[in-house]
Structure 1
Amino acid sequence: MGEHDAAGDPGRLLALSDGVFAIAVTLLVLDVGVRDGLDPAGFRRALRQTVPELLAYALSFTVIAAMWRDHRRIFAGVRRVDEVVIRLTVVGLGLVALMPFPTTLLADYGGRPQAVLIYSGAVVAVDAVHLWLLRYLASRPGMLAAPRPKAETRLLTADLTLTIAVFVLSMGLAYVSPTAAKWCWLLLVAVRLGLRWARGGRSAA
């Protein structure tokens, strides 16, 4: 990165980010398929075997979409980026690009604690980088075109923190019951709906 990029417009960084998120989502579906030449019984068996793959795809698509949305919210109103922002963003993108790997592990070995642990750890790592990036930008208002509302920063911080907490909890549950650990992820639905409701109420006020 040159000096111009190190303290420049965030447009190129956002374009790179959108591309990485799009590729990561696309790669999720590559492992889903049914091979050719099957007889009727084999075809039905193969279709049943795609169910874990489709569920893992749906989960990771939702997770990556939420990560992309959080990333866009973090960069809302940013008019200038520095070397730290670039490095944190690149680290986060590298972790996002890795998401198809734990997704495949979850589809193929979802009953094993190691698969749940690796998947949860990947999500925690991405959201931890996003939280670090959010707090860094919040401490440098000169990078923003206008001051970010404190309520928006608090809600986004709570969103990321609670997401991390739920997946860390699932990491602990994984060795007790991988199934219970995966059901734990459904807590995020209630968490995000609650935060969205809170955000809507703050906006109306």
Structure 2
Amino acid sequence: MSAADDSDDRLTDTGRVEAFSDGVFAIAVTLLVLDLKEPAHGPGALLDGLIRQWPAYLGYVASFGYVAVIWLNHHQAFSAIKHVDKGVHLANIALLFTTALIPFPTAVLSRAFIDGADSGDARTAVALYAGILAAMCASWLLLFDQVSRRPGRLAEDDVDPRGFAAQRFRAIVGIIAYLAAGVIGVVWSPLIALAVFVVMPAFYAVTVPGMGRRDSTHH
């Protein structure tokens, strides 16, 4: 049965996966800047127009930081993976799908907050942003789960397979935090949800996984 399973699910190296993923990350961060536009203003009112666009700047910083952290996490994860199978491919595609979406809710969020930080549109916007980011965390959970189930086939030989299982906790934290932020933003305060959106990339930056390596002196 094991041999049959292996033949039905061919393993490939990570080169093409990483190259394609890097391309998606690069496009995503490039699209983010397109929402930063010169404000409409009359003579002498440029400064006021620029200040009024503060949600666009905050959204850009938060989302750019998030994509950068995604790239760092992706790089660390795939440095510990030697082969990918269909399950890892699908999980990675889900991750790229949600990453490519980030510029859309970022633009919606910034425009809604410019029109009013406590408006109905702002509440809808934070729910949209929270839902997409929670879905991204779910794709990370799926990716780490796929590798942790078959570390002997997929992970580098010197990598402690428990490291992949441990990273699932970080993904679960993200799912809970973003869903909670979405609920808080809708029923209470969109500004609190926005604060969570800014803090979460910092959390993931500080906790970027260094996948544990086995001591080479032990056999």
TM tier, shorter chain? 0.7 to 0.9
| 1:167 paired to 2:178 | yes
Q: State the secondary structure of the residue aligned to 2:143.
A: helix
Alpha-carbon distance between aligned partners in 1 of 2:83 and 2:103, rounded to the nearest angstrom: 31
**What is the correspondence of 1:181-192 to structure 2 with a 5 Å cutoff?**
181-185=193-197, 188=200, 191-192=203-204
- Aligned pair partner of 1:34 in 24, 32, 38: 38
1:150 is displaced (CA, Å) by 4.8
Q: Name the residue aligned to 2:130.
A: 120
CA contact (8 A) 1:21 1:68 kept: yes
Larger Rg: 2
Distance in 1, matches of 2:41 and 2:182, equals: 40
Alignment partner, residue 54 of structure 1: 57
SS of residue paired to 1:40:
coil
**Structure 1: any 5+ residue segments left out of the alignment?**
none
Match for residue 149 of structure 2 among 126, 132, 139: 139
1:119-151 CA-partner distances (Å, limit 9, x unpaired): 111111111111111111111111122153255
User: Post-superposition shift, 1:88?
Assistant: 1.9
Please give the alpha-carbon distance, in whole angstroms, between the structure 1 residues aligned to 2:197 and 2:47.
Answer: 30
Aligned length: 196
Q: Deviation per CA, 1:54-89: give whole Å up to 9, x if none.
A: 110001011111222222222222121122222221
Structure ranking higher in helix proportion: 1
Return the alpha-carbon distance in structure 1 between the equivalents of residues 98 and 204 of structure 2: 22
TM-score w.r.t. structure 1 length?
0.83
The answer to whether the aligner puts 1:178 opposite 2:190 as a matched pair is yes
Partners of 1:21 and 1:64 within 8 A in 2? yes
Mapped to 2, the partners of 1:29 and 1:135 lie a distance apart of 33
Structure 1 residues 194 and 46, CA gap change in structure 2 (3 angstroms):
closer
Amino acid at match of 1:136: Q
Q: TM-score with structure 2 length normalisation?
A: 0.78
Query: Please, which runs of 5 or more residues in structure 2 have no aligned partner?
Result: 1-6, 214-219
Residue deviations 1:90-142, cap 9 Å, x none? Answer: 22212111110000011111332110011111111111111111111111111
**Aligned residue in 2 for 1:97:** 100
**CA contact 2:109–2:126 (8 Å) conserved in 1:** yes
Cα RMSD over matched residues?
Answer: 2.8
Give distance in 2, aligned partners of 1:15 and 1:53. 30
Equivalence for 2:67? 64
Q: Distance in 2 between matches of 1:95 and 1:88?
A: 11
CA distance in 1 between counterparts of 2:75 and 2:170 reads 14
Percentage of identical aligned residues: 30
